[in-house]
Amino acid sequence: MKKRSSLLRQLYRRTFKHYGPLHWWPGETPFEVMVGAILTQNTAWTNVEKAIRNLKKNRLLDPKKLLKLPPQKLARLIRPAGYFNVKTKRLRHFLKFLMAEYNGNISKMKRRPSAELREKLLAVNGIGPETADSILLYALAKPVFVIDAYTRRILSRHYLTKKETPYEALQDFFLQRLKPDVSFYNEYHAQLVNIGKDFCRNNPRCDQCPLNGLNW
DNA sequence: GACCAGGCACATC
DNA sequence: GATGTGCATGGT
């Protein structure tokens, strides 16, 4: 009989063999990753890229500059990412938080412990568990496991968890079985998203999925 | 032209 | 506390 912890490692080996290293998150700076984490909420990444390109083109990828920008102009720039009115508000809530707590200094933020940061991020209107954890892992290099719609779907399709399992419980499922490791968690979540995109949508292609035939 | 995307807050019962 | 709904663009 296989040990429980090796189950998630098996899954990872399969996906990694299929895709190779994915080197997430696609973003040049921690701040860019944070902005991307908010913009990608329920949104295809290709649309987020356009919005980030607009911000870069105008040299606005900076907490102070972005906060100084009139909301209307910000909305226009991030328009391709969808939900632009909502996301303008969410971005501005986050920027105000960043300035108030850390004076816009990401290095200062990074020095704080992970649990404290998570709690504070979750208190920001517009930042939920996935966005908070994405920021912690991909921008601040904290060993937290990110759960998203794909992760949820893949686990439940393989009868490892139930569809309605709450976010924190799913996160514990990974945390209890995998040693804390930033680059491993980083790569693991990236792999899951790719599997989700390619094989595990609402109209799944399980027959061609690299996870096909895994026995647990 | 329908369907979907790397969520979240808020209303309503 | 559970369940439903609005938010919006762009790719398939």
Give residue-wise pLDDT tens across range A155-191: 999 999 998 899 999 999 999 999 999 999 999 999 9
Helix axis angle, A167-175 to A149-157, nearest 10°: 70
Query: What residues does CATH 1.10.340.30 cover in chain A?
Result: 30-139
Residue A93 DSSP code: H
- Give pLDDT, residue A4: 59
Q: Which residues of chain A have pLDDT under 70?
A: 1-5, 215-216
- Give pLDDT, residue A26: 92
The whole-number Å distance from A29's CA to C1's C1' is 40
- Give pLDDT, residue A204: 85
- Give pLDDT, residue A3: 54
Q: Which residues touch strand C (CB under 7 A)?
A: A 42-44, 46-47, 50, 79-80, 82-87
CA A179 remoteness from chain centre: 19
Q: Which CATH architecture has domain A30-139?
A: Orthogonal Bundle (1.10)
| Threshold 0.85, pTM exceeds | yes
3-class DSSP string for A127-177? CCHHHHHHHHHHHCCCCCCCCCHHHHHHHHHCCCCCCCCCHHHHHHHHHCC
The whole-number Å distance from A126's CA to B9's C1' is 7
Q: Which CATH architecture has domain A4-23+145-208?
A: Orthogonal Bundle (1.10)
- Give pLDDT, residue A202: 79
Residue with CA nearest C1' of nucleotide B7: A41
On whether the CB atoms of residues A47 and A80 are closer than 8 A, the answer is yes
Query: What residues does CATH 1.10.1670.10 cover in chain A?
Result: 4-23+145-208
- Give pLDDT, residue A47: 98
List the nucleotides on chain B closer than 7 A to a protein CB. 3-10
